[in-house]
């Protein structure tokens, strides 16, 4: 996992490899930066204490601080304001220090507890405890989160150690674990809504506390652990020179790196148990401190903690300004949403500047072509038969199960009205699910052909999030807009997001990173998706939308879809057919730059058209059934293994497999907890995340096929 990421000198700097506090700008600048950050934290903390719905302002807070104020103000401060501010300070210290340790151990500025899946693992562990009905105090809850985080980073290590050890591969493994952990946590919340009630806002990160007990207990743990972090400063400075050099200078690399991960996971898990998974702060705080000229870890650790506190409290204050606090708890914007809005663009810019090592060799994960097997017609026919069987089984399953004989009778119009009404309700949504799955699979095929990375699924590169943003923007700004405006806005949002990701992922013009690095596209897309979804969550809360309905749509759902929804999918379906007819250009795009040009393909126009088609397919599908992920990753990969890389054969096969996946996921979601429905997007994530884990793990060290 310890693969260095090359950054421009003004960000990484030759002093990154200094061996002590004396390197770089020296102590005077460090003292100046530290003093400024300390004053900033104090000022923001006072401002934060003065924000709330009770009418107690900054002047009242200052009066209490200087010995004045009344009993009412003191009660407000001690009962609500101080616990919230103290939580921000505790969490800020924890994530700031953990971010420094993870980045130092991996020598990767994009690494952080959240980007390596630690936060998601800890989050899943806490939700699991709640689902089991265990009422744990601060210490046992933190221990459960620690175990979850430790298992997550262990899984990341297993995924990244078996193949090509590039920075992109490590981050892709972390993103995979994070997606799997989050999907599993959402699934548990669906299984038992009562036991996990209230975990949505906590799951997005919130500083709200009911008293001082938890912040004080958790804060004492964080302070003790954080005080041990400087013991790793000198070894981490030497580790920046490389493993071999550090070993030659007496550093036990095999002990220092696990120790750094262990302390980082403990701090991050403690923060998650207190305030939920708050992302990106542990990533941007060390990067910002390095940008100020501080690189030695002895100074980087405390200054990153101070900056993280300032950013976190400032983000929470900004959230309260956007949506002023009220008696309705659900009207607040979770602070984790604001930090994602800040950190997403920072992650994108950092990803733009890194050199992952995949621009020339191709994606960090490759896919093999077809092995010997049955004829294409047999494989495609079998796929269609499986799809038909899945649709028939889906008609049977639900809160009311009906026999196959009655289904056939209902389809022929010779049964009782009750069964006929059930079939007439289920059949449209099944057809919508099949068509949507086919469109998502073809969208994944189109995007992967241009990006040359089989992990470039529309959901992972921000297209689905962009479509969600466009659709929710229309709902929030123009509630009375006609229904046709929703797919139109989603399509525009998805296309613009994809163009933005591609433009940023190309890197600075004229630099060595200006090519279309396949792995960099996915990394930039992850940051874009986080930013877009943060904006969506802000609009949902600000516009006082029905949060449960909005979340169901964002998770992807076919609930209540009728034949009108199929009309929204007609344009994407036509685009999918056009891509089959244009199979030759799609095939050539996957071969790189030089060969397609030599064969007469106008590369720029072809890429733009195929990317636009993929974005339109994904966005149109999102407008019909919401955000459904992993279909555009799993279906094309399976299709390549079954029928090869020829687009004329692979695209129809991928469409059939995508339809089977979504129809099956929809049936499972309706049947498993009937009459409660699990959104289809959660089911596809639970199925697709393990598949992505398997795909990453099977990739050979030489970059061979999966």
Mean pLDDT on 250-273: 90
The Cα 357–Cα 6 span in angstroms is 10
What pLDDT, on a 0 to 100 scale, did the predictor assign at position 372? 56
Per the model's pLDDT, the better-predicted residue between 700 and 202 turns out to be 202
Higher pLDDT residue, 87 or 420?
Answer: 87
What pLDDT, on a 0 to 100 scale, did the predictor assign at position 299? 92
By percentage, how much of the chain surpasses pLDDT 90? Answer: 17
Query: Strands, DSSP E only, in 367-476?
Result: none
Q: Are 117 and 178 in contact (CB under 8 A)?
A: yes
Higher pLDDT, 218 or 589: 218
> Which residue from 659, 664, 191, 625 is spatially nearest to 395, judged by alpha carbons?
664
Tell me how far apart the alpha carbons of residues 429 and 625 are, in angstroms, rounded to a whole number: 10
Q: Is the pLDDT of residue 327 over 70?
A: no
Residue 611 has pLDDT above 90, yes or no: no
pLDDT, tens digit, for every residue of 634-681? 898 889 888 888 888 889 999 999 999 999 988 888 887 777 778 888
Helices 213-228 and 138-161 sit at what angle, rounded to 10 degrees? 40
Whether the pLDDT of residue 320 is over 60: the answer is yes
Whether the Cβ atoms of residue 173 and residue 160 lie closer than 8 Å to each other: yes
Q: Which helix (H) or strand (E) holds 80?
A: none
Residue 239: the pLDDT is 87
What are the phi and psi torsion angles at 479 (to 5°)?
-60, -30
Decide if pLDDT at 552 tops 70.
no
Instruction: Give tens-digit pLDDT for 503-514.
Output: 888 755 555 555
Please answer whether residues 86 and 270 qualify as being in contact, where contact means their C-beta atoms are separated by less than 8 angstroms: no
Phi, psi of 627 (to 5 degrees): -90, 110
- What crossing angle do the helices spanning 647-671 and 631-643 adopt, rounded to 10°? 130
DSSP 162-178: TS---HHHHHHHHHHHH
Confidence of residue 21 (pLDDT cuts 50, 70, 90): very low
Residue 477 has pLDDT above 50, yes or no: yes
Domains of the chain, with CATH numbers?
26-62+90-323 (1.10.3470.10), 376-698 (1.10.3470.10)
Q: In this predicted model, which residue has the larger pLDDT, 183 or 313?
A: 313
The predicted structure's pLDDT at residue 501: 87
Whether residue 675 is preceded by a cis peptide bond, meaning omega within 30 degrees of 0, is yes
Do 465 and 627 touch, CB atoms closer than 8 A? yes
Residue 547 has pLDDT above 60, yes or no: no
- Tell me the per-residue pLDDT of 232-254, one tens digit each, with 9 for 90 and over: 999 999 988 887 888 888 888 88
- Work out the pLDDT band at 306, boundaries 50, 70, 90: very high
What's the whole-number mean pLDDT along residues 513-539? 79
pLDDT averaged over the chain?
Answer: 79
Q: What is the pLDDT of residue 166?
A: 59
> Over 50: is that where the pLDDT of 23 sits?
no
Greatest extent of the chain over all pairs of C-alpha atoms, in Å? 88
If you count them, how many residues does the chain have?
706
* pLDDT score recorded for residue 208: 85
Residue closest to 407 by CA, chosen among 417, 391, 392: 392
Measured CA distances, 404 to 10, 401, 419, 668 (Å): 68, 10, 11, 17
Q: What percent of the chain has pLDDT over 70?
A: 79
When pLDDT is averaged across residues 336-355 and rounded to a whole number, the result is 85
Q: How far apart are CA 254 and CA 701, in angstroms?
A: 22
Structure-block tokens of residue 168: 């992109």
For 202-243, the pLDDT digits (tens) are 777 888 887 888 899 999 999 999 999 999 999 999 988 887
**pLDDT above 80: residue 72:** no
Q: Supply 574's token pair.
A: 């036509």
pLDDT tens figures, 154-211: 888 777 665 444 566 677 778 878 878 887 887 777 666 555 555 566 777 888 887 8
In the block, which residue shows the tokens 């009422």? 135
């Amino acid at each position: 996992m310890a693969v260095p990421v090359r950054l421009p000198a003004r960000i990484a700097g030759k002093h990154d490899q200094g061996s002590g506090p004396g390197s770089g700008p020296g102590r005077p600048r460090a003292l100046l930066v530290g003093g400024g950050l300390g004053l900033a934290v104090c000022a923001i903390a006072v401002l934060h204490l003065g924000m709330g719905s009770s009418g107690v302002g900054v002047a009242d807070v200052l009066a209490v601080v200087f010995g004045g104020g009344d009993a009412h103000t003191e009660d407000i401060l001690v009962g609500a304001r101080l616990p919230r501010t103290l939580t921000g300070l505790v969490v800020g210290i924890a994530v700031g220090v953990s971010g420094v340790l993870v980045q130092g151990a991996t020598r990767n500025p994009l690494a952080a507890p959240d980007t390596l899946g630690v936060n998601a693992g800890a989050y899943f562990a806490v939700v699991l405890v709640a689902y089991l009905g265990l009422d744990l105090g601060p210490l046992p809850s933190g221990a459960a989160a620690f175990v979850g985080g430790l298992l997550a980073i262990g899984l990341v290590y297993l995924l990244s150690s078996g193949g090509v050890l590039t920075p992109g591969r490590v981050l892709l493994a972390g993103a995979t674990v994070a997606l799997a952990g989050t999907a599993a946590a959402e699934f548990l919340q669906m299984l038992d809504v009562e036991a996990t009630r209230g975990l949505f806002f906590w799951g997005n990160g919130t500083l709200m506390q009911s008293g001082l007990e938890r912040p004080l207990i958790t804060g004492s743990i964080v302070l003790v652990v954080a005080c041990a972090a400087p013991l790793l400063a000198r070894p981490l400075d030497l580790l920046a020179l490389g493993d071999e050099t550090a070993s030659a200078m007496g550093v036990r690399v095999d002990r220092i790196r696990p120790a750094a991960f262990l302390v980082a996971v403990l701090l991050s898990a403690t923060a998650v148990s207190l305030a939920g998974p708050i992302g990106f702060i542990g990533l941007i705080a060390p990067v910002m401190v390095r940008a100020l000229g501080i690189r030695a870890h002895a100074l980087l650790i405390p200054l990153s903690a101070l900056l993280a506190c300032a950013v976190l409290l400032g983000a929470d204050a900004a959230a309260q300004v956007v949506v002023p606090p009220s008696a309705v708890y659900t009207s607040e914007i979770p602070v984790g949403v604001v930090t994602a809005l800040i950190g997403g663009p920072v992650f994108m810019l950092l990803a733009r500047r890194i050199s992952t090592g995949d621009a020339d060799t191709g994606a960090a994960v490759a896919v093999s072509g077809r092995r010997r097997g049955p004829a294409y017609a047999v494989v495609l026919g079998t796929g269609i038969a499986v799809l038909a069987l899945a649709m028939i089984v889906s008609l049977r399953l639900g809160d009311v199960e009906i026999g196959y004989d009655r289904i056939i009778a209902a389809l022929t119009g010779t049964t009782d009205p009750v069964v006929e009404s059930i079939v007439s309700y289920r059949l449209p949504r099944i057809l919508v699910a099949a068509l949507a799955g086919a469109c998502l699979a073809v969208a994944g095929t189109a995007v992967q052909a241009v990006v040359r990375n089989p992990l470039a699924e529309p959901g992972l590169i921000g297209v689905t999030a962009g479509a969600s943003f466009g659709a929710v923007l229309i709902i929030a700004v123009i509630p009375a807009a006609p229904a046709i405006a929703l797919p139109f806005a989603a399509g525009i949002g998805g296309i613009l997001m994809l163009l933005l990701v591609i433009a940023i992922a190309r890197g600075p013009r004229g630099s060595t990173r200006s090519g279309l690095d396949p792995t960099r596209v996915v990394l930039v897309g992850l940051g874009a998706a986080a930013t877009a979804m943060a904006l969506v969550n802000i609009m949902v809360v600000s516009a006082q939308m029905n949060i449960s309905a909005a979340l169901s749509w964002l998770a992807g759902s076919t609930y209540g879809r009728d034949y009108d929804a199929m009309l929204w999918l007609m344009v994407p379906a036509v685009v999918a057919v056009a891509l089959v007819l244009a199979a030759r250009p799609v095939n050539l795009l996957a071969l790189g730059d030089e060969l397609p040009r030599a064969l007469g393909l106008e590369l720029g126009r072809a890429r733009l058209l195929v990317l636009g088609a993929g974005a339109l397919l994904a966005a149109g599908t999102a407008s019909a059934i919401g955000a459904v992920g992993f279909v555009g990753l799993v279906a094309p990969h399976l299709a390549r293994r079954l029928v090869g890389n020829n687009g004329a054969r692979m695209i129809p096969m991928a469409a059939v497999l995508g339809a089977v996946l979504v129809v099956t996921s929809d049936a499972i979601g309706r049947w498993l907890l009937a009459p409660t429905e699990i959104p289809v997007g959660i089911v596809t994530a639970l199925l697709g995340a393990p598949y992505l884990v398997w795909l990453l793990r099977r990739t050979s060290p030489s970059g061979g096929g999966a």
